[in-house]
Structure 1
Amino acid sequence: MSDPGEPQWDLLPDQPEQFFSLSGEYDVRDLKRSYNALIKRFKPEKYPEEFQRIRAAYERLNDALRYGETPHQGTIPLESQFDWSSLPVPGQQPRDLPEDQTPVSPAGSSQEDPNSESAPLIEFLELHERVKQEPLPELYEDLRSLPHKTPYDYYALALISDLLSEEELSFPLWLLKGLKAHPEEPALFELLHQYFLTNQTINGLGKLLVQTSRIIRNDRFYYLTENAWDLLLREVPFSRFRQVLETCESNLLDHRVDHMLVFYVHLLKAALWKADPGWIRMTLAQIDEYHERMTFWLEQEYEFLFLIRSYQEQREEFLKGGPVRKLIDQTIIDYCTQNEQTADRRFLECQLTLVSQRDEVLEEFDVPSRNCETVVYLWETIAADVSQRIDTDWLPDDPATLQEQTSQLAGRLFAEGEGAEYRKAVKIPRLAFTLIFLISMLVIMLCLINKSDSISGTLLIVGFLFLFNGVAFIISHLFTDMVTQEFYLSWWRRQLMTFYQSHWFPLPYLAAELKRLNGTRIDNQKFRGLGEIAHMVRNDAGLWFYSTAQRLLSACQ
């Protein structure tokens, strides 16, 4: 008996919707949830074949949904779209048939009407039978010489030419010839889409795209070729990429704005790192012009582009920190420019490095971490996307235990080692200010008692003492902050990192709970300074990167 939780592999590749348990109205988010649930079980490093089948089915539906194509279109089995019998070819002799069998004349043949009394009762060999009996070169020449070819003939020519010809593009070129003869033929169109989806050959790709734009001259060109543009953008200089794209778009006659928006929002994720600034500005302005036509999920993708743009504006300053920052920067670029599998792997490799180089992370990110707000938010967005695909049985801490765990953490921060030294250190400026304030009050009282002095002199002394106390208060406050920051960097920060080796609570939640505990008393111990620690936690980019890395690596384990 098969496992009831086992995917129905027999539904692929022809019924991807049923494979992902999708029915009725669904969108990109529904598809992604189902896809992520499957690839958590069938990871590429353990189940490469299963993963590739799941990925191919996902990309097929995802492309259709994003571009507004009917998801069912192109997912019908090819057997029901093609006439699987070959056309008669000159010189072929019909087979002898049993007396009780009615012969069938192939669809699309030039034979006489089978209902006519004079029609010969013949049946020609089907193509799969001819392949077994005839040399492929002769069969290829016979098919190519046909004056009128069916869609299936073009499909057969594409397959055979792929076996016989050394030309890498013979397969898609025959499909294009078929689409030229049979415009919008769904089976040929889907076969060509699958070719662009899986092809990793860069040689001749630019010419193939231009040739495709001369035959598929409507808005479906973007949907058909999107993956080929991703490959071209990665492998060739941007000037060459732009030239090919502009040539192709000049051949299009009626491309819709909606398809153009989907294509360019997808393309810009990688192009922002490679394209020239002028082209980026022009493309963004073109998208902004039709922003109101975006769907909800497309708006989210567009907001991610602006997050990247904001980071790029601060990138030069961010990279001055050291090698860890450069590693983070390269990981962000890889996430935007590489395929999903490669990007996920490099992101997780970066997490392992961040955990293993804790001291370097502490050194490169001061507290407060300046000009890091955007990169932290960008990193969180990427981590959330990657974690959806890698989480297995790992579960984060129960939020209900946050208060208890934070109380225990606070106890360690203040009761152990340098934590106790901190309480003594911060008392010094506080006691000094208190002493100065008391002496000032005493001097003021003496001045008021001494009637011999003029009133103006008394007021001058009082004003001076108030000013002196104000300055003393500011110095005391600054000294306390300096001591607190020093203890945070040398003691509390390391304790917080140790805490995140075995716990996971979102940093804002932990900071809010630490602030709430400030000034409270637990087990005869009064916590002071937790508000300052909470503020530093919120502004500690190094702790953000480290805690995120610990969380993702725990999920992988």
Structure 2
Amino acid sequence: MSESDEPRWDLLPDDPEQFFSLSGDYDVRDLKRSYNALIKRFKPEKCPEEFQRIRAAFERLNDALRYGETRNPGSLPPQAQFDWSAPPAPGNQTQEPPDEQTILPPSDIDHDESESESTPLLEFPELYERVQQEPLPDIYEELKSLPHKTPYDYYALALISDLITDEELSFPFWLLKGLKAHPEEPALFELLHQYFLTDQTVKGLGKLLVETARVIRNDRFYYLTENAWDRLLREVPFNQFRQVLEACEANLLDHEVDHMLVFYVHLLKAGLWKADPDWIRMILAQIDEYHERMSYWLELEYEFLFLIRSYREQREEFLKGGPIRKLIDQTIIDYCTQSEQVADRRFLECQQTLVSQRDELLKEFNVPSRGCENVIYLWETIAADVSERIDTEWSPDDPATLPEQTHRLAGQLFAETEGAEYRKAVKIPTLAFVLIFLVSIIVGLLFALNKSDSISAILLIAGCLLLFNGVTFIISYLVADVVTQEFYLSWWRRQLLTFYQSHWFPLPYLAAELKRLNGTQIGKEKFRGMSEVAHMLRNDAGLWFYSTAQRLLAACR
């Protein structure tokens, strides 16, 4: 699909595969690539309705792909997908659940009547005509009294009850009753899955999940209910969440674990921030037991969990720096625990703050920035993910121009005045060491001439001189390092910040190119000290956060 093509909105919601221009053997990465290309054009703040339709189609296909379910249920023949009129299969007849008045508690959930407009009521003219001509309560009571209900009867009961009763969660509970009478009925299952994808209140959600586990007792339970668990984890205390999950899993009988693996890898992204350590260790051990069954993309998701865990091990030390670090920390938590749309917005808001509070950012990350390796790697992974969804026309500088741009930058870093001052400053500790070394040699020779008859005395003074010169060398090296660091903080860092306001190359590439220039002479310029600048640049977390923020904000503009 080209940028100028209008998406085939008529393909939604029935054919999300064709909507995303996917065919053949595609995977999660192909789907995300197509999805990101669309939401760059239809951003939520500018095109909220279009974005919601794209997002709903993406979630439907993404869930099916991750869990290995049918990729596009809408592409199945109608008779295979919606066999509404089929009677209960022999041997599958089950006793009706308790009376509807007891299983369906009062509800404060309202469903948009527009949902019914997308359902296949027109394929059943008798009921459709009756709905227009007869009171809904009469039809509802008649359907309830049927001794043997078809899947469509249960769907109609779910829809009508949602319109005329105050029973809590009546729509999904009727679908569950239908699935109990018609196990694995694909249309009822898909309708219930779509219900769990909607952002409903968590009131009564725990009870609904437990009831669902009593009906769907196999590994598909995780695929069916994943979105509901996300909401529950966000909005209730973890102990309550864990109790509901354990109550559900106590009802599952399936020996399959593939859906369980996908579910827990997904759940731990947020769970690592809310769950207690014992539960996390238990779940990770459970995942590791079946690690060889993971797909490639699931391995990548699992590796991201280890980035989070590595950061959490250093998190307490990282947070000691000040409010900017706390903002970065909260943004990481939001990315892991909030919906994609909320997480992206907060991540970009954080970038704006980092740029606008540049001085505070640099102050909190001294050079070298110690103990920041894990958070930088994690932040880079998050930035790459967010960038895929917001990056439209912006692109980084052409890598081929890096040598030219670096040479120009080096000239600014070592301009005549500053370069001369730096060379003079670093020569002082070096000259001091050389002077002390020569003096110690002369003193040693004089002592040796006076004590030529005492070998032990000569060896003693030689050892003392070696120790003294070693300490002197270390001190001179440390002084030179302090001088270099002061020059970096007072001059070079400002020039690098200015550079990243108008250019963007990955910091490691720029550092490598600066180091390559060290000691080289181009024209009348001879660059010395480039290795030191490159070393400082690689260890400057503040500059790294700043340059990343500039890149993302440039993409937004």
Shorter-chain TM-score bucket reads 0.7 to 0.9
1:393 aligns with 2:393: yes
Name the CA distance, whole Å, in 1 between partners of 2:4 and 2:342: 31
Alignment map for 1:530-545 (pairs within 5 Å): 530-545=530-545
User: Is the Cα–Cα contact under 8 Å of residues 273 and 333 in structure 2 kept in the other structure?
Assistant: yes
User: Is the Cα–Cα contact under 8 Å of residues 433 and 473 in structure 2 kept in the other structure?
Assistant: yes
1:224 aligns with 2:192: no
What code does the residue aligned with 1:309 have? R
Name the CA distance, whole Å, in 2 between partners of 1:311 and 1:420: 42
Give the aligned partner of residue 49 of structure 1.
Answer: 49
Q: Provide, for residues 265-304 of structure 1, a one-character-per-residue CA deviation record: whole Å limited to 9, x for no partner.
A: 1111111111111111111111111111111111111111
- Is the alpha carbon distance of 1:330 and 1:424 closer, same or farther for their aligned partners in structure 2, counting shifts above 3 Å? same
Aligned-residue CA RMSD (Å):
2.5
What code does the residue aligned with 2:311 have? Y
Shift of 1:500: 0.9
3-state secondary structure, aligned to 2:273: coil
Give the aligned partner of residue 178 of structure 2.
Answer: 178
Give the aligned partner of residue 9 of structure 1.
Answer: 9
Give the aligned partner of residue 350 of structure 1.
Answer: 350
3-state secondary structure, aligned to 1:126: helix
Q: How many residues align?
A: 519
- Is the alpha carbon distance of 1:254 and 1:496 closer, same or farther for their aligned partners in structure 2, counting shifts above 3 Å? same
Alignment map for 1:297-308 (pairs within 5 Å): 297-308=297-308
User: Is the Cα–Cα contact under 8 Å of residues 64 and 71 in structure 2 kept in the other structure?
Assistant: yes
Bigger CA drift: 127-136 or 314-323? 127-136
Alignment map for 1:394-473 (pairs within 5 Å): 394-415=394-415, 418-439=418-439, 454=453, 456=455, 465-473=465-473
Give the aligned partner of residue 36 of structure 1.
Answer: 36
Give the aligned partner of residue 161 of structure 2.
Answer: 161
- Is the alpha carbon distance of 1:242 and 1:468 closer, same or farther for their aligned partners in structure 2, counting shifts above 3 Å? closer
User: Is the Cα–Cα contact under 8 Å of residues 74 and 186 in structure 1 kept in the other structure?
Assistant: no
Alignment map for 1:456-535 (pairs within 5 Å): 456=455, 465-535=465-535
What code does the residue aligned with 1:363 have? K
User: Is the Cα–Cα contact under 8 Å of residues 396 and 504 in structure 1 kept in the other structure?
Assistant: yes
What code does the residue aligned with 1:316 have? E
3-state secondary structure, aligned to 2:414: helix
- Is the alpha carbon distance of 1:353 and 1:419 closer, same or farther for their aligned partners in structure 2, counting shifts above 3 Å? farther
Name the CA distance, whole Å, in 2 between partners of 1:416 and 1:402: 23
- Is the alpha carbon distance of 1:48 and 1:417 closer, same or farther for their aligned partners in structure 2, counting shifts above 3 Å? farther
Q: Provide, for residues 395-416 of structure 1, a one-character-per-residue CA deviation record: whole Å limited to 9, x for no partner.
A: 1000011111111111111106
User: Is the Cα–Cα contact under 8 Å of residues 11 and 19 in structure 2 kept in the other structure?
Assistant: yes
What code does the residue aligned with 2:49 have? E
3-state secondary structure, aligned to 1:14: coil
- Is the alpha carbon distance of 1:458 and 1:198 closer, same or farther for their aligned partners in structure 2, counting shifts above 3 Å? same
Structure 2: 5+ residue stretches without partners: 88-123
User: Is the Cα–Cα contact under 8 Å of residues 42 and 51 in structure 2 kept in the other structure?
Assistant: yes
Shift of 1:315: 0.8
Give the aligned partner of residue 267 of structure 2.
Answer: 267
User: Is the Cα–Cα contact under 8 Å of residues 14 and 77 in structure 1 kept in the other structure?
Assistant: no
- Is the alpha carbon distance of 1:313 and 1:83 closer, same or farther for their aligned partners in structure 2, counting shifts above 3 Å? closer
Name the CA distance, whole Å, in 1 between partners of 2:465 and 2:80: 96
Name the CA distance, whole Å, in 2 between partners of 1:254 and 1:182: 18
- Is the alpha carbon distance of 1:445 and 1:276 closer, same or farther for their aligned partners in structure 2, counting shifts above 3 Å? closer
Shift of 1:78: 6.6
Shift of 1:86: 13
What code does the residue aligned with 1:160 have? I
Shift of 1:27: 1.0
- Is the alpha carbon distance of 1:59 and 1:459 closer, same or farther for their aligned partners in structure 2, counting shifts above 3 Å? same
Give the aligned partner of residue 101 of structure 2.
Answer: none
- Is the alpha carbon distance of 1:520 and 1:45 closer, same or farther for their aligned partners in structure 2, counting shifts above 3 Å? same
Give the aligned partner of residue 148 of structure 1.
Answer: 148
What TM-score do the two structures reach when normalised by structure 2?
0.88
Give the aligned partner of residue 314 of structure 1.
Answer: 314
Give the aligned partner of residue 233 of structure 1.
Answer: 233
User: If you compute each CA radius of gyration, which structure gives the higher value, 1 or 2?
Assistant: 1
Name the CA distance, whole Å, in 1 between partners of 2:366 and 2:4: 53
What code does the residue aligned with 1:481 have? D
Structure 1: 5+ residue stretches without partners: 88-123
Bigger CA drift: 131-140 or 334-343? 131-140
Shift of 1:64: 0.8
Name the CA distance, whole Å, in 2 between partners of 1:455 and 1:400: 67
Q: Provide, for residues 460-485 of structure 1, a one-character-per-residue CA deviation record: whole Å limited to 9, x for no partner.
A: 66665555443333222111101001
Name the CA distance, whole Å, in 2 between partners of 1:55 and 1:5: 19
1:381 aligns with 2:367: no
Q: Provide, for residues 314-356 of structure 1, a one-character-per-residue CA deviation record: whole Å limited to 9, x for no partner.
A: 1111111110111111111111100111111111111111111
Give the aligned partner of residue 91 of structure 2.
Answer: none
Residue identity over aligned pairs, in percent, reads 80
Bigger CA drift: 495-504 or 342-351? 495-504
Q: Provide, for residues 520-541 of structure 1, a one-character-per-residue CA deviation record: whole Å limited to 9, x for no partner.
A: 1233222211111111111111
Bigger CA drift: 491-500 or 346-355? 491-500
User: Is the Cα–Cα contact under 8 Å of residues 85 and 126 in structure 1 kept in the other structure?
Assistant: no
Name the CA distance, whole Å, in 2 between partners of 1:358 and 1:137: 65
User: Is the Cα–Cα contact under 8 Å of residues 500 and 550 in structure 2 kept in the other structure?
Assistant: yes
- Is the alpha carbon distance of 1:4 and 1:481 closer, same or farther for their aligned partners in structure 2, counting shifts above 3 Å? closer
Name the CA distance, whole Å, in 1 between partners of 2:78 and 2:244: 32
3-state secondary structure, aligned to 2:283: helix
- Is the alpha carbon distance of 1:250 and 1:3 closer, same or farther for their aligned partners in structure 2, counting shifts above 3 Å? closer
Give the aligned partner of residue 257 of structure 2.
Answer: 257
- Is the alpha carbon distance of 1:337 and 1:447 closer, same or farther for their aligned partners in structure 2, counting shifts above 3 Å? same
Shift of 1:146: 2.5
Shift of 1:153: 1.9
User: Is the Cα–Cα contact under 8 Å of residues 220 and 255 in structure 1 kept in the other structure?
Assistant: no
- Is the alpha carbon distance of 1:334 and 1:78 closer, same or farther for their aligned partners in structure 2, counting shifts above 3 Å? farther
Shift of 1:255: 4.8
User: Is the Cα–Cα contact under 8 Å of residues 86 and 153 in structure 1 kept in the other structure?
Assistant: no
User: Is the Cα–Cα contact under 8 Å of residues 143 and 157 in structure 2 kept in the other structure?
Assistant: yes
User: Is the Cα–Cα contact under 8 Å of residues 484 and 532 in structure 1 kept in the other structure?
Assistant: yes
Bigger CA drift: 220-229 or 170-179? 170-179
Bigger CA drift: 189-198 or 433-442? 433-442
User: Is the Cα–Cα contact under 8 Å of residues 136 and 160 in structure 1 kept in the other structure?
Assistant: yes
What code does the residue aligned with 1:386 have? V
Shift of 1:420: 4.1
Name the CA distance, whole Å, in 1 between partners of 2:447 and 2:507: 54
Name the CA distance, whole Å, in 2 between partners of 1:240 and 1:359: 43
User: Is the Cα–Cα contact under 8 Å of residues 85 and 150 in structure 2 kept in the other structure?
Assistant: no
- Is the alpha carbon distance of 1:86 and 1:451 closer, same or farther for their aligned partners in structure 2, counting shifts above 3 Å? closer
Give the aligned partner of residue 552 of structure 1.
Answer: 552
Alignment map for 1:196-207 (pairs within 5 Å): 196-207=196-207
What code does the residue aligned with 1:486 have? E
